Amino acid sequence: MTKTPKNQGSRWSDTEKAALAKLADGNTPTRLIALKLERSEDAVRSEAQRLGVSLAPTNQSPYGTAGKGRK
């Protein structure tokens, strides 16, 4: 059985909303955001959608190949 998040059912504070936006901007995985904010992943996704914050990972070149010309 999973543990109930500490903040389950409580309203999102302005500080938590700002932290959510900052973590999402930093390409932090949803699961890690949930752990840091002590919320469920579903709650994080729901609040992010409500705020218009994208949780999709930014497109990054794999293995440090950015900027190298391909032939």
Cβ neighbour number for residue 38 with a 10 Å cutoff:
13
38 occurs within a structural domain? yes
| Contact of 71 with 40, CB cutoff 8 Å | no
46 occurs within a structural domain? yes
63 occurs within a structural domain? no
Per the structure, the count of domains in the chain is: 1
Report the pLDDT value the prediction gives residue 12, as an integer from 0 to 100.
Answer: 94
Range of the domain at 19: 14-52
pLDDT higher than threshold 80 for residue 60: no
Band of pLDDT at residue 63, cut at 50, 70 and 90:
low
6 occurs within a structural domain? no
28 occurs within a structural domain? yes
Q: Global pTM?
A: 0.76
64 occurs within a structural domain? no
Burial class (CB in 10 A: 0-12, 13-18, 19+), 19: middle
Per residue in 6-45, pLDDT tens?
A: 888 889 999 999 999 999 998 899 999 999 999 999 999 9
Token couple for 38: 């002590």
68 occurs within a structural domain? no
